[in-house]
Structure 1
Amino acid sequence: MTESERYELLVLMSIYQIGQVRKSAGLAEAVRRGLKSPLLYAPITPAHFCHSAAYSTFPSRGGREG
C-alpha cells in the first residue's frame, strides 16, 4: 500500500468513525426519549460518547513502517 493509499484509508476510516459516533448518539437520544428500547442493560450516560475523539486530528502512524 502506498503512502497516499494509506492516507486515503485513514481519511475514509475517520469519516466512518464520525458516522458511527453520530449514529450511536442518535440511538442514545432515541432511547432517552423513549422511542427505542435500550440495547444494553447498563444506563447510558453522556460519558459513553466522546465526540472529541472522532473529530481530533489524524493520529500519527505508530507501529510498522513500510
Structure 2
Amino acid sequence: FHGIVDYTELPLVSTDFNHDPHSAIVDGTQTRVSGAHLIKTLVWCDNEWGFANRMLDTTLAMAAIGFRFDA
C-alpha cells in the first residue's frame, strides 16, 4: 500500500492532514490492542484529496495498459 496508506507517531491534528495524498494515515499513538483478537486504530484522511489522488492513479494505470479514453 505504498503511497496509499501512511503511518505516523507524530502528535498531529486533523488540519495537519489537509491535502495529504494518502487515502489513510494510521495514527500509531492511538493504536491499541484489546484482548487477543481486537485491534483499535485511529486513521486520519482528507477524504476528497485522497479520493482525487486514487482517481489519478487509476487513470494513469489505465493509460499505461493502453486504454483509450477517446473511444
Shared fold by TM > 0.5? no
For CA contacts below 8 A with separation 6 or more, give which structure has more relative contact order.
Answer: 1
Please state which structure has a larger fraction of its residues in strand: 2
TM-score range (shorter-chain normalised) is 0.3 to 0.5
Please state which structure has a larger fraction of its residues in helix: 1
TM-score, normalized by length of structure 2?
A: 0.32
